[in-house]
Structure 1
Amino acid sequence: MSYEELLETVLNSVKEVLNTKDFIDSNVQFIDIPTFDSMSLFMLVSSIEAQLEFTIPPDLLTPDVFKSPASIVEAVLPIYKN
């Protein structure tokens, strides 16, 4: 899976969690989205894992990794490809 394909998957998950069809920038900081809370984060992780049929390792479940869609892709892509 390419960076772009994984990014599209993550962005679709974000849209699903936020219940929106609006454009989501890949560098948007989740902390800047008023409706994005801890439950949203849990739902996002679950959605990404379900779409990828892949479990995100616990050591990647950090604020630095889950600060934006792009940061998720950058952290997950190297291990997802293997």
Structure 2
Amino acid sequence: MAVVTVRYWAGAKRAAGVDHEMLAADTVGRLRAVLAERPALLQLSVVASFLVDGQRAHDTTALGDGAEVDVLPPFAGG
């Protein structure tokens, strides 16, 4: 398992209660599952977009030690 820095933005930050934290996961999908284990992050884990080291990522994207993962909630346009 890789240890990554997870950074939360906007509503994700409010839901997590912190702006960043260290978590262990080997893929974005596994990280999404880890987040879903927290009641406050369950809904967010379903709809959030993820960036890994600044690049859009999908559930199959592998995570390496020291990666930075940004969790972005959906943004309303208008």
Whether these two folds match at TM > 0.5 is no
Give the structure with the larger strand fraction.
Answer: 2
Considering fraction of residues, name the structure with more helix. Answer: 1
